[in-house]
Amino acid sequence: MSPEAQRRLGHALQAISSIQRYTANVPLQESLSDDLIRSAVERQLGIVQEALRVALLEEPSLRQIWPQVDSWLEACARMRDWQHPVGLEELVGFVAGDLQMWQGRLVEGLRLQQDEGAKLDRQIAENLRRLGYE
C-alpha cells in the first residue's frame, strides 16, 4: 500500500475516533441531539469520506479488500447532506453500526498491509543474506 493511502486511512481512523470521543459521555441519541455535537460529527464524517476517497484513488486495490466501500462513501455523504438532512434515528444507527464496523475494517486493512510489508522486508533481508550482503 502506498504511504499516501496509509496516511489517508490513518486520517479516517482519527476522524472516527474523534466522533467516538464527541459522543462518549452521553447516550448516543442524546449527544447527537445537540446541534454542536451533531455538526462536529458531520464534519468528521466528511473527513472520513474524503480520506477514503483519496486512499482509493491512491490504492485502487483497496476496492478488492472492501468491495462495499463505495456504498459506504455514499452513506457518509448522505449523513451530512445539508439539503436533505437525515433524521436523528438514522444518524444514530449509522454512528452506532456502520461507523464502528468500518473502523474495524480500516484497522484490519492497515494491519494486513503492515504484515505484508514486514513479510516482504524479511524476504528481502533473506535474499540479501543469501547473496552475501549483510
pLDDT in tens, 73-132: 998 898 888 788 888 999 999 998 888 888 888 888 777 766 666 565 567 777 777 777
Whole-structure pTM value: 0.79
Angle 18-21-26 (CA atoms, 0-180°, nearest 5)? 140
Angle 7-70-57 (CA atoms, 0-180°, nearest 5)? 40
Q: What phi and psi values does residue 9 have, to the nearest 5 degrees?
A: -65, -35
d(CA 26, CA 23): 6
- pLDDT for position 16: 93
- pLDDT for position 3: 81
